[in-house]
Amino acid sequence: MTSEPVISLSGVVKSYGDLTVLHGVDLQVQRRELAAIVGPSGSGKSTLLNLIGTLDRASRGAIRVAGQDVGALNDQQLSALRARHLGFVFQHYHLAPGHSALDNVADGMLYAGLPLRERRKRAATALDRVGLGHRAGHRPYELSGGEKQRVAVARAVVGEPDLILADEPTGALDTKSGEAVMGILRDLNADGATIVIITHDQEIAASLPRQVRLRDGEVIDDQGAVITR
């Protein structure tokens, strides 16, 4: 018996009016995988990320995330799914400027029903995990780009989600900072996290165990996929 995939897409189509962006995508991601979804601008990467992250709905096809049929959930249930099972890392950090690094990470558990003291305790642990425990009291304007992205990673993992979705996580960083962030993501994967990285960077994609290549809304290649029976 095999465990259910963290992500399962079957025949997924996404259209906006007369424009079809995704054409019958089939994709499965197993637990503990570290995968890149790679392709040029306009290939459908961001649309696919939004569907996997339950931020948008498919026009046709079936999507299951963390064992749940996304198409059968209402908006409140989708919010609960994101809060409990998904962690997001965005290219431009999306940190609250007036909050400390600690509280930005604690905000990642706003919908977990935990008191502030407990959320801050877990946030401190997450910051230590990405090497930023000593910067917990600093606000975003006091942090470098690489440090901001590490705070964003800590926020994504603080609730120990089933799946981390990283959208161009090194796109706004210099080479050294980008390598540091990728190193953290690899370490998190080694600790058991399932991570999907959306990127146009061929070098980053080639460094990961699995590369799912998109072009014109279709999967044209899938290297390194875990085969289950």
Question: What whole-number distance in Å separates Cα of residue 184 and Cα of residue 121?
Answer: 21
Domains of the chain: 7-223 (3.40.50.300)
Tokens describing residue 116? 């502030």
Q: Kindly report, residue by residue over 141-174, the tens digit of the pLDDT.
A: 999 999 999 999 999 999 989 899 999 999 888 8
pLDDT tens readout for residues 81-122: 998 899 999 888 899 999 999 999 999 888 777 899 999 999
pLDDT tens-place string over residues 120-150: 999 999 999 999 999 999 999 999 999 999 9
Q: What is the pTM of this model?
A: 0.91
Please state, rounded to an integer, the average pLDDT across all residues of the chain.
92
pLDDT at residue 171 in the model: 87
Calculate the alpha carbon distances from 53 to 7, 33, 87, 203 in Å: 10, 16, 9, 24
